[in-house]
Amino acid sequence: MAIMSIADAYKSAIREEMRRDPSVYCIGEDEDIPGGMGGAFTVTKGLGDEFGANVRVALESGGFAFKGTENIGDDRVINTPISEILISGVCVGSAMAGMRPVADLQYGDFLFCMMDQLVNQAAKMCYMSDGKVHVPMVMRAPCGATNRGAQHAQSLESYFIHVPGLKVICPSTPYDAKGMMKQAIRDENPVLVFEHKLLYGGKRKEAGQLSATGEVPEEDYTIPFGQAAIRREGKDITIVANMLMWYKAMQAAEELEKENISCEIIDPRTLVPFDYDTVTKSLKKTGKLMIVHEDTYTGGWGAQLASWVAENAITLLDAPVVRVATPDTPIPFCPTLESYVIPSQQRIAEAARKLAKL
């Protein structure tokens, strides 16, 4: 076992997969240029020392500087211009041709710049080709509010769980980060990896950053998608929360335990496919469901879970489903206002107290 941050766990997974499979490569802005960060959050820093750094994808003569499969052992850390539409286009095309790109977006918000390639091309290609064409690509998307304003702070998971053909995962521990990233790279079709900026624990420090370090096996392992993790056993209330929010839910649960309110905390880990079975088993014990996410209240992934429970497990509930989420407003730039709108330990605990009384 090794003690790693989430950022280092992602890096370890990508490095091991690049060693194992010569078709795996990294692409993005500032991937590993001299003096650079290694992406916005240090995840790819140092990979170029082993796999060939400083290759610039250039829009010259209608082509780019990737050398192709005859030189596959080198230049697999590709720095690009600031153009997400370029990154996604290269990823889709090279994945269809047999490569396995791992794209690093500086901020998940920039997924909107590549919606056509991602939603209309990558997600649908396997279906439209009757399973003959696969698009094994990974999009790493940092998300969450970190005092950067409305265009660099969104939680976008819910936009993409609606798209058939995309898998959507949200690792939140170093163990999960490594195992699920390996699983994503080996998947035959596109996977979106949402990574909360306050959980990286890398060299780039953030206000409010958690020290999310943990033990990570040194041997090869993967974590199958669609398996939730029970982070805390409980008997009174089931709380389903992902990424940063389950950490806050854990803090709230410890506070509530002193008041004889026992909360079971479930981290879904993957939103597509979703592990409804684990939630159902928990509700058989507790009879009460609370969903916590950083995304906005209307149309968040919690709405889908609440709807599924209403249709398939309503008889298990002793009270209405409660959701704790961000109000339907852009994320404020002002740190005080940002802290006000994002779900907090206090808001989660207060909502649980009210639910416990029902």
Specify if 16 maps to a domain: yes
Question: How high is the pLDDT of residue 71?
Answer: 39
CA angle 65, 67, 71 (to 5 degrees): 150
| Active-site residue, selected from the candidate residues 152, 162, 196, 293 | 152
Lowest mean pLDDT among 11-20, 28-37, 141-150: 28-37
Banded model confidence at residue 209, pLDDT cuts 50, 70, 90? confident
The last residue of one of the domains, among 216, 244, 266, is 216
Specify if 223 maps to a domain: no
Strands (E), 203-329: 214-216, 229-232, 237-241, 263-267, 270-272, 289-296, 322-326
Q: What is the pLDDT of residues 220-232, one digit of tens each?
A: 999 999 999 999 9
Q: Are both 49 and 142 inside the same structural domain? A: yes
Q: What is the pLDDT of residues 17-37, one digit of tens each?
A: 999 999 999 999 988 777 677
Distance CA 334, CA 206 (A): 15
Q: What is the pLDDT of residues 329-348, one digit of tens each?
A: 999 999 999 999 999 999 99
Q: Are both 201 and 287 inside the same structural domain? A: no
Specify if 222 maps to a domain: no
AA letter at 245 = M
Q: Are both 116 and 174 inside the same structural domain? A: yes
Specify if 221 maps to a domain: no
Q: Are both 13 and 85 inside the same structural domain? A: yes
Query: For residues 33 and 60, which has the higher predicted lDDT (pLDDT)?
Result: 33
What is the domain range of residue 156?
Answer: 2-216
Question: How high is the pLDDT of residue 203?
Answer: 62
Specify if 341 maps to a domain: yes
Residue 146 has pLDDT above 60, yes or no: yes
Specify if 59 maps to a domain: yes
Distances (CA, A) of 109 to 151, 209, 323: 6, 19, 24
The whole-angstrom distance between residue 49's C-alpha and the CA centroid of its chain comes to 26
Q: Are both 234 and 211 inside the same structural domain? A: no
Q: Is 152 a catalytic residue?
A: yes
Residue indicated by tokens 């170029």: 48
The last residue of one of the domains, among 189, 216, 243, is 216
Q: Are both 196 and 261 inside the same structural domain? A: no
Q: Are both 144 and 288 inside the same structural domain? A: no
Share of the chain above pLDDT 90, in %: 81
Specify if 237 maps to a domain: yes
| Total domains in the fold of the chain | 2
Query: For residues 314 and 38, which has the higher predicted lDDT (pLDDT)?
Result: 314
Q: Give the H or E element holding residue 79.
A: strand 77-79
Question: How high is the pLDDT of residue 66?
Answer: 43
Average pLDDT, rounded, for the chain: 91
Banded model confidence at residue 68, pLDDT cuts 50, 70, 90? very low
Q: Are both 199 and 91 inside the same structural domain? A: yes
Q: Are both 202 and 242 inside the same structural domain? A: no
| pLDDT average, residue stretch 116-141 | 97
| pLDDT average, residue stretch 279-291 | 98
Question: How high is the pLDDT of residue 74?
Answer: 59
Q: Are both 113 and 210 inside the same structural domain? A: yes
DSSP 3-state assignment of 128?
helix
What string of DSSP letters covers 282-316?
A: HHHHH--EEEEEEEESTT-HHHHHHHHHHHHSGGG
Specify if 98 maps to a domain: yes
| pLDDT average, residue stretch 286-307 | 97
CATH number of the domain residue 345 falls in: 3.40.50.920
Q: Are both 211 and 237 inside the same structural domain? A: no
The last residue of one of the domains, among 183, 216, 249, is 216
Question: How high is the pLDDT of residue 57?
Answer: 38
Q: Are both 8 and 144 inside the same structural domain? A: yes
Question: How high is the pLDDT of residue 234?
Answer: 98
CATH number of the domain residue 22 falls in: 3.40.50.970
Cβ neighbours for 98, distance < 8 A, ≥ 6 positions apart = 23, 69
Distance CA 81, CA 27 (A): 11
pTM: predicted TM-score of the whole model, two decimal places: 0.91
